[in-house]
Amino acid sequence: MAENVLALGATPVLFGVVGNDPTGQALLARLRTDGADTAGVVEEENRITTKKTRIIAHNQQVVRVDQECTQPISYATQEELAGRLQAVLAGIDALILSDYGKGVIVSPLIRKIWPLVRRTGVRCYVDSKGHSVRRFRGVFLAKLAKSEAERITHLQIVDKKNLTKAARTIAALYRCKYVVITEGPQGMSVFLPPGRLHKIQALAREVYDVTGAGDTVIATLALALSAGASLIQAARLASVAAGIVVGKVGTAVPTLAEIRRQLRASRQQAGF
């Protein structure tokens, strides 16, 4: 399940597509064991479930081998996904679209769910590799990696001036309220209306594996903002959560206890 939709409410619901194969069954079983609600996951016949094999040496990822299908999901699968999403929209606070160009977040599906999202007023967050940006117009927040921001805007982000210009361009393309650009070890930049740029520094720690860091950022942003945090507060929390994840080997999830410990340590380092 290389890309997905996450609905945040009283209980987060994961939406995506897996194949009817052993890898898909194993993934669903693991998700359920971990307490995830998989009611939105659709099985599609004759589709390969995305499988990523990571080669680790000295506790760090060296190379990754992917087995996947990037063809658009079928019309029937799109209808099924849209129907399942419609069933929960009224009870959620945020909707995250993780678009990696793997064939799930396709334009016909977006056209099906967009009117539903706007009708309910749910805040929509997009984490996209920059495929067909205009189809996401009207989202609440767009998060992109620096390399994706450069590709979309055709700008080389080498200083604050170009970074601000890129963020403004992205905000115009998405017609969104907020833009967050992640910059790896340099942290992330938050673009606030009417055009202010705020820098969030990354945690100083050894990086073992960046797997899932971007997903951690967008999920933490959406969760914190839904709970009433400001964007700056949410971004700082997201930076802490991502810093914890990259300090672990493999796909990892930061625990609440780890986040609290890191926040206390950060305050002590800052002299608070």
* Cβ(243)–Cβ(262) below 8 Å: yes
Residue 171 backbone phi and psi in degrees, to 5: -60, -40
| Rg of the chain, C-alpha, whole Å | 18
Instruction: Using DSSP bridges, classify how beta strands 13-19 and 123-128 pair: parallel, antiparallel or unpaired.
Output: unpaired
Phi-psi region at 132: left, alpha or beta (left = phi > 0; alpha = psi -120 to 50) = left
99, 127, 209, 215: which is the annotated catalytic residue? 215
3 state SS of 188: strand
For 175, half-sphere exposure in the C-beta direction (CA atoms, 13 angstrom radius) is 5
| Residue of 60, 59, 48 lying closest to 22 (CA atoms) | 48
Instruction: Kindly state the tokens that stand for 167.
Output: 């963020």
Residue 93 annotated among the catalytic residues of the structure: no
Residue 10: DSSP 8-state: S
The angle, 0 to 180 degrees and rounded to 10, between the axes of the packed helices 256-270 and 231-246 is 110
Q: How many other CB atoms sit within 10 Å of the CB of residue 67?
A: 11
Residue 133: DSSP 8-state: G
* Cβ(190)–Cβ(180) below 8 Å: yes
Instruction: Using DSSP bridges, classify how beta strands 60-67 and 51-57 pair: parallel, antiparallel or unpaired.
Output: antiparallel
- Dist CA 139 CA 227 (whole Å): 18
| Catalytic sites, residue numbers | 215
